[in-house]
Amino acid sequence: MARYAIGDVQGCYDELLALLDKLKFDPAQDRLWFVGDLVNRGPKSLSTLRFIRNLGEAAVTVLGNHDIYLLRLACEGEGDFIRKRRDTLQVVLDAPDRDGILDWLRSRPLLHVEDDFVLVHAGLLPVWTVPQAAALAHEAHAALAGDEWRAVLAQLWGNQPVNWDDTLTGIDRLRVVVNALTRLRLCNRNGDMEFDTKGPPEAAPDGYMPWFAHPWRASFEYTIVFGHWSALGLRVEPGLIALDTGCVWGEKLTAVRLEDRAVFQVKASRRG
């Protein structure tokens, strides 16, 4: 059995099929690990969701910020929310099987730990150990998968607080956890998150660094597999596999076989 971690698909369904063909993927034996952001901006979010859902246990996926955005769109009438003009998600919301798809999506975890690998969309706060991050991710997962998920999502949007505190409770606690796991790129030495910068690490504001470069990162004993940061690109290093290679922007869709770090890529068939 091989495990293939795959970068942000974002509705690039045709490229996903081409990549799986290149992998000679066998759902009876192999497993796919998706770093999240299955949907949005690409042309075939609905096909992507249906396909991955139908893979059953052959696929593991964690939630990304675009996946959570889709779930928030489904909470029409719940709180104040401004929809982004460039999203491509109406086809999912109009689908006859939308409820089943959305229930499946919100039941996906925010973190997956297996052997010495951690699968997450964006990153981990430096102060978190992997067991602590897994416990916090489980808290957030329970809130999103529970009966009150619409009310939770209606309050979840926002950037504050920017740092973790063990005394946090309620929606502030959930917001820090979800923001870190699905939106984190940069933080400072205190662990304060910064959400405005989307460029390469060299563009970080003074005092900020990639979360994985923090000198006191407590998760260093694991290999973190993540996406979210297309300007970072592919990185396969000790303790780190970064997989967002900008397929939706006209670049590539990437997979890495976890057993030997072999890299597989297909070029995008469209421009973002």
The pLDDT, as a whole number, for residue 80 is 61
The span from the CA of 74 to the CA of 94, in Å, is: 10
Q: Is the pTM of this model over 0.85?
A: yes
In percent, the amount of the chain with pLDDT more than 70 equals 97
- CATH superfamily of this structure's domain 3-267: Metallo-dependent phosphatases (3.60.21.10)
Quick: pLDDT tens for 97-128: 999 999 999 999 999 999 999 999 999 999 99
Over range 56-82, report the average pLDDT.
87
pLDDT surpasses 50 at 45: yes
pLDDT surpasses 50 at 272: no
In percent, the amount of the chain with pLDDT more than 90 equals 92
Domain-by-domain residue ranges, the chain? 3-267
Over range 114-143, report the average pLDDT.
98
